[in-house]
Amino acid sequence: MTGIYKIRVARKLLLDRLLSEIKDEYIDDERPFLKITFFRGLILYIRYNDYDEYSYQLIYSQEPLDRVRYDNYDDM
């Protein structure tokens, strides 16, 4: 499966389960990544590549560097 396919699957799963909590969502087909903004101010980024690697980042405040991040994603 390609990265963009995985992003679309993740988007569908999140929208199916959390639609009432989601303010906005955006998919970038070029890189590929998904950005979801929640009504409570949380921002979730999910990225996939074509090699079964992913990363996600959760920003939960407006303070600089105040985020939770998991990343095993290789950009190379």
Tens of pLDDT, residue by residue, the chain (76 residues): 888 999 999 999 999 999 999 999 999 988 889 999 999 888 899 998 888 788 888 887 777 777 676 666 565 4
pLDDT at residue number 57: 87
pLDDT at residue number 8: 94
Cα(23)–Cα(27) distance, rounded to whole angstroms?
14
Cα(45)–Cα(57) distance, rounded to whole angstroms?
5
Domain ranges of the chain: 3-71
This prediction has a pTM of: 0.82
pLDDT at residue number 13: 96
pLDDT at residue number 48: 87
Here the tokens at position 58 are 């959760």
- State the virtual CA torsion across 19, 24, 29, 30 in degrees, nearest 10: -150
